[in-house]
A and B are shown apart, each in its own frame.
Chain A
Amino acid sequence: MITKKIFMCEDSIEGIFAAIYDAGSSRYGHDNIRIQVQTAGTENFDMELFSEYIYVAGDEEKALKVSKAIREKISGEAYEMVCHAALSDEGKKGDMIYRFLILGFSLGPKAVNLLNNDKVLNIFNLNRNVMNESHHFLGFLRFTESKDNILFAKIKPRNDILRLIAPHFSDRLNMENFIIFDERRKTAVFHKSGFFWIYVTADDFNMDKLLELSDQEEEFQSLWKTFFNTIAIEERKNYRLQRNNLPLRFRSNMPEFSSNDINSSDDISGK
């Protein structure tokens, strides 16, 4: 039996592409290769017997070659789908992307339409899941205004969507100073009034200062809660529908669902 080669890579587009580059050029046979992304949760994964583990470092040059090949041999649409899929929190995404690319390189642009093929469907689903969550956060994200007049938002997304939502807020609030912080990944987007946004990893991010609220912040939160509570029609009350549309996991940073609110505690019982 042939020993399997497992290419380990870091959890980023560059990392996955570099691993795919090495895997492809190893000429070891696609069936004997697997791409494994090292995510925070998979550090202690079960090692497989009869397998060779190869650790691939992120490499910009290799990544660029792969991305160029995707755009030229498959399509721009495929490239976009793959990039979004790489932001997913699905553990097998590295290998899913690899399988999709093998198919795509042989079929060309029509590959993205073959939704009845599992390799295509997987990427399609990852892409959709990431884009849906990204769209949700355009609406469900909440800023608070700090004493220094900085708008601050904390999010806890499943997928790594921070860089997908940053352009939207940067365009919308171009005259504001704001920070969006991903609590799960300890990454942040900074935006200074009139400038482009920047993305940083922020392991030792100190948010104490940002949590000192401005004088009027509480007032507007309270006004917002008033609005939120009165706009519901009593005769149509429907907490299940509400939870279906706005799952609980999004609510932790939304003032209208903060714990001192009667309506939201009602809601958890899900009557």
Chain B
Amino acid sequence: MSVIIQERMPVQKKLEILSAAAKYDVACTSSGVDRSGSPGGMGNSVGCGICHTFSADGRCISLLKILFTNECIFDCKYCLNRASNDIVRASFTPEEVCTLTMEFYRRNYIEGLFLSSGILVSPNHTMELLCITLKMLREVHRFNGYIHCKAVPGAAPSLIEMTGWYADRMSVNLELPTASGLRNLAPHKSRKNILRPMKQIQLGRKEAVGKPFRIQDSRTGSDIKLPDDLRLKDSLNKDDLRLEEDLRLKKDLKLPDEWKSEGDWKLQDNFKNPETVILRPSSSALGLVKRPAVSRGFVPAGQSTQMIIGATPENDYQIISVAEALYQKFDLKRVFYSAYVKVNEDSSLPSLQDGPPLLREHRLYQADWLLRFYGFQASELLSEERPNFNILMDPKCNWALGHLGKFPIEVNKADYYTLLRVPGIGVKSAQRIVKIRKTSNLRFEDLKKIGVVLKRALYFITCGGKMMYPVRLEENYITNQLISIKERLPYGIDGSNLYEQLSLFDDVNFTSLNHTDIRSLTL
């Protein structure tokens, strides 16, 4: 491993290195939490999120997305920062991250901070650095804007909990859709280490919501009251504590004593052997550490994750089944899909002649929306017999054509979720239809006005019992009609290399869905 570290590197250079190293992380959303400003502090948060600019690749920039360090002891084959790569390495200090965040935020460049990191020294050491940075930002700089922070796989639960009290959103990247993919490409990461913090955050969120100062006993279901003296200390010595902590932060990067829980869980022990750390089986997911004086809730904006698409041979059915399991069993807010970009030469990685598989990524996002907002299940969209999405048609059209027996539906009568299944009717137009028909019957020209794409929808609906034109409800005919309407793909994903991609997809070795992978998500 050769590492080039420059002493006294200017912040500008660090920012260049550590933002370039962070750019493959997809999530840049600042959504999920509404919080008004705090007197004396800076920042608030808007539930729907705010995009502040768009980079040359057309992606939204909402957060200052950086790695804390790219000095990484892991050697994940797909990653630019892997230990065996000969690249310039850099690390921020917590102060530098705070200054950049505060000054960018004041000028309204950003909505907040997205802090990720390579693994410096050990997972715990790294998590501690991230946590200390967040603490400094919240308590010294009194930053009240949005923070998204990575949970480092393998880090102690106490550190993850502490970070969760400062962050709005946390994420652990699944990296690859299946455990075997992970074994092949990320030898230092394990599925277990990725899912454990995810589970911890999920349980912690459930526990923290709506009961800010109570801990529930999981056996009896009754609330355990925190000892009164513990709470008193919280309110009485707030200011003294903060000062003391600030001093400590500046001296060294050790965890302040008062973070340690009063209970039988010693942080010191956790650090020595993180592998043995498990969540307390019979008690709550929270309570490993003393929470900060100002409570913004525990990971109030929820957690997200991301999978790299196209680096390993999983098919689309496997990928969306994993995504579905993550939504259902881990309450994730978002699963992101990242078309694999080849940054390293490695025999175990595929060569991508046509660039990153953007159309495939697009189809997965479309399917993801169908899972989250349209009431679809993964097994309705794909199957083991037909494991990949049709590149010529979006997943919803594809589904509708396979289920022509369910159509046409009557727009003035069908329920909301049935309306959502019609190609050309989206969430907004379905909501409008439901609203309008309370007072008046809808005609085709009305549908057009409120945003229904009639040239798609006309094959699947009736208004007042009549179709728009006499149409044969026949699969081949409608398929041809729908394909002849050009689908509006995002700019840059044009149809010109569709046929090459088609053959590429066919090359994907279809192995039957690995059920143990899905089951392993239940942890």
Q: Which residues of A contact B (CB under 8 A)?
A: 110, 113-116, 118, 121, 135, 138-145, 151, 153, 168-169, 171-176, 216, 220, 222-224, 226-233, 235-242, 244-246, 254, 256, 263, 266-267
Contacts and interface: CB of A to CB of B under 8 A. Distances in A.
- Closest 4 A/B residue pairs (Cβ): A241-B58, A116-B446, A232-B55, A240-B491
A110 to B, nearest CB: 5
A142 B107 contact: yes
Contacts of B57: 232-233, 236-238, 241-242
Interface stretch (B40-48, B243-251, B391-399): B40-48
Interface stretch (B9-17, B157-165, B228-236): B9-17
17 contacts: A113-B439, A116-B443, A139-B51, A145-B106, A175-B42, A176-B106, A216-B103, A223-B104, A224-B104, A224-B109, A227-B64, A231-B23, A235-B356, A236-B492, A239-B58, A241-B58, A256-B53
B352 to A, nearest CB: 9
Nearest to A151: B106
Given A245-B58, A245-B60, A235 B355 contact: yes
Contact of A175 (B41, B46, B104, B358): B41
Given A115-B435, A238-B57, A142 B50 contact: no
Interface string B406-447: 000000000000000000000000001001101110110010
A245 B57 CA distance: 11
Contacts of B107: 142-145, 151, 220, 224
B281 interface: no
A230 B20 contact: yes
Q: How large is the interface on B (under 10, 10 to 19, 20 to 34, 35 or more residues)?
A: 35 or more
Contacts of A144: 107
Contact of B50 (A139, A229, A239, A246): A139
Contacts of B100: 223
B104 A220 contact: yes
B483 interface: no
B127 interface: no
B37 interface: yes
Contacts of B22: 231
A171 B36 contact: yes
Main secondary structure of the interface of A (DSSP, over half): helix
Main secondary structure of the interface of B (DSSP, over half): loop
Contact of A235 (B103, B341, B438, B450): B341
Interface centre among A114, A115, A135, A227 (most CB of B within 10 A): A227
B56 A239 contact: yes
A175 to B, nearest CB: 6
Interface centre among A142, A232, A233, A241 (most CB of B within 10 A): A233
A121 B447 CA distance: 12
B435 A113 contact: yes
Contacts of B104: 220, 223-224, 227
Contacts of B11: 223
Contacts of B12: 222-223, 226
Interface centre among B48, B440, B491 (most CB of A within 10 A): B491
A238 B491 contact: yes
B449 A227 contact: no
Interface in B21-45: 22-24, 36-37, 39-44
B56 A232 contact: yes
Nearest to B60: A245
B56 A263 contact: yes
A232 B436 CA distance: 43
Contact of B432 (A115, A151, A174, A223): A115
B492 A240 contact: yes
Nearest to B100: A223
B301 to A, nearest CB: 17
A172 B107 CA distance: 11
A10 B459 CA distance: 49
B54 interface: yes
A246 B490 CA distance: 14
A174 B19 contact: no
B476 interface: no
Contacts of B439: 110, 113-114
A237 B106 contact: no
Contacts of B39: 174
